[in-house]
Structure 1
Amino acid sequence: MLLRLPTSVSEAQECMAEGAVPIGGATLIWATWQRDGFPEHAMSLRDLPEANAVEREALGSAVVLHRIDDRVPEVLRRAAATVGTGAVRRTATVGGNIVGSTLRCLLPAALVLGARAVVLEPDSVYETDLAEVLAKGHLLLSLRWRDPIASGYRKLPGDAGGPPPLVVAAAVHAADDGGTLLRVAVRDGYEVLTESAGCDAGSEQVLEDLRRTAIGALHPTAWGVVRQQVTEVVPAAGFDT
């Protein structure tokens, strides 16, 4: 297998046009390749500057999870810190976790940030929503979002070999109309639900509004974690009951 390490977007596009397979951190596909055979050409974005950003409002797809620190919002930092073991976090990448994994531990955090995806194609670079990236398996170049006022993340313990553990992410944003908006995302099993509610009136009103959504219909354990996140994040943004 020939591994290509492009250092520019145009070089990465040339690799794609020539059929190079993106590998990310290879934590998810290595065993498959050992069983089924390695591709002739592979490509890693680890030397591409655009894929290595760690900023308050941007995160590159080639960033390994243990590099995600307080330069990014709390919700994303805490999500990365809960993925696998330390050894996994030193090799697994943002792009691999969101696009290549069925668990997608970073996805709820990205959704509550309202993140947009910058996608790399052989003949273009463009921005789109995460739903399109997941549906079509695009090559993710980076994530971009607006810095939230406050955010939080909770992941319950899981059983080895069992279903993915429950995850609840939340973030408060300044809304375009001058108010504030709370986004909540819940990963329950392999399904991720997202809802939002205005939070100027405080935590209890947010919870009442969320009760009328699909998140409000979740089982008691999930709702209990949602309540905890709302009552922590909304006051942290300066709004209280």
Structure 2
Amino acid sequence: MLLRLPTSVSEAQECMAEGAVPIGGATLVWATWQQDGFPEQAMSLRELPDANVIGREALGSAVVLNRIDGRVPEVLHRAASTVGTGAVRRTATVGGNLVGSTLRCLLPAALVLDARAVVLEADSVYETDLAEVLAKSHLLLSLSWRDPIASSYHKSAGEAGGPPPLVVAAALHAADDGGTRLRVAVRDGYEVLTESTEGDAGPEEILDALRRTVIGALHPTAWEAVRQQVTDLVPRPADS
């Protein structure tokens, strides 16, 4: 297998046009290839600057999870820090986790940030929403979002070999009308639900509004985690 390491977008597109298979951090495909056979060509974006950005409003798809730190909002930092083991976080990438994994541990955090995706194709680069990326398994180049006022993240303890642990992510954003808006995402099993509501009211009023959405129909354990995140987040100062 020939591993290609493009250093520009145009070079990456050339690799794609020639049939190179994107591998991310290879944590999810290696076992399959060992069983089913290796492709003739593979491509990693680890040398591509556009896929390695880390900042308050952007994150590249080739960034390995243990590099995600306080430069990004708290919700994304904490989500990355709880994925797998240290060994997994040293190799798994943002793109592999979001697009290649069934768990998609970073997805709730990306949803509450209202992140947009930059997608790489053999003949184009364009921005789209996460729903399209996940539905069509696009090659993700990077994520971008508006820096939130504050954010938070909760992940329940999980059992080895058991169902995916409950995740609740939340972020408070400045709205265009001068107010604020709260976004909440919940991973319950393999399903991820997301809702938003005005964030200018107190925690109880916000929770009342969320109860009238699909999140309000969650089981008591999940709802209690949502309640705790909203209660903790709304009075908090902005992320530092």
Identity rate, percent: 83
Q: Which runs of 4+ in 1 moved over 4 A?
A: none
1:44-55 equivalences in 2 (<5 Å): 44-55=44-55
Report the CA distance between 1:237 and its aligned residue. 4.3
Aligned residue for 2:154, secondary structure, equals: strand
Whether contact under 8 Å (1:187, 1:193) holds in the other structure is: yes
Partner in structure 2 of residue 65 of structure 1: 65
Report the CA distance between 1:6 and its aligned residue. 0.1
Report the CA distance between 1:92 and its aligned residue. 0.2
1:220-231 equivalences in 2 (<5 Å): 220-231=220-231
Name stretches of at least 5 consecutive residues in structure 1 with no aligned partner. none
Separation (CA, whole Å) in 2 of partners of 1:5 and 1:106: 25
Whether contact under 8 Å (1:199, 1:205) holds in the other structure is: no
Whether contact under 8 Å (1:172, 1:237) holds in the other structure is: no
TM-score normalised over the length of structure 2: 0.98
Q: Deviation digits for residues 154-192 of structure 1, max 9, x if unmatched?
A: 000111111110000000000111110000000000000
Q: Deviation digits for residues 9-48 of structure 1, max 9, x if unmatched?
A: 0000000000100000000110000000000000000000
Aligned residue for 2:232, secondary structure, equals: helix
TM-score normalised over the length of structure 1: 0.98
Partner in structure 2 of residue 183 of structure 1: 183
Report the CA distance between 1:150 and its aligned residue. 0.2
Partner in structure 2 of residue 153 of structure 1: 153
1:198-213 equivalences in 2 (<5 Å): 198-213=198-213
**In the comparison of the two structures, how many residue pairs are matched?**
238
Separation (CA, whole Å) in 1 of partners of 2:186 and 2:201: 22
User: What value does the CA root-mean-square deviation take over the aligned residues?
Assistant: 0.7
Partner in structure 2 of residue 37 of structure 1: 37
Partner in structure 2 of residue 172 of structure 1: 172
Aligned residue for 1:222, secondary structure, equals: helix
Aligned residue for 1:19, secondary structure, equals: coil
Separation (CA, whole Å) in 2 of partners of 1:111 and 1:201: 22
1:1-241 equivalences in 2 (<5 Å): 1-237=1-237
Separation (CA, whole Å) in 1 of partners of 2:199 and 2:63: 33
Separation (CA, whole Å) in 1 of partners of 2:197 and 2:206: 6
Aligned residue for 1:235, secondary structure, equals: coil
Separation (CA, whole Å) in 1 of partners of 2:52 and 2:168: 26
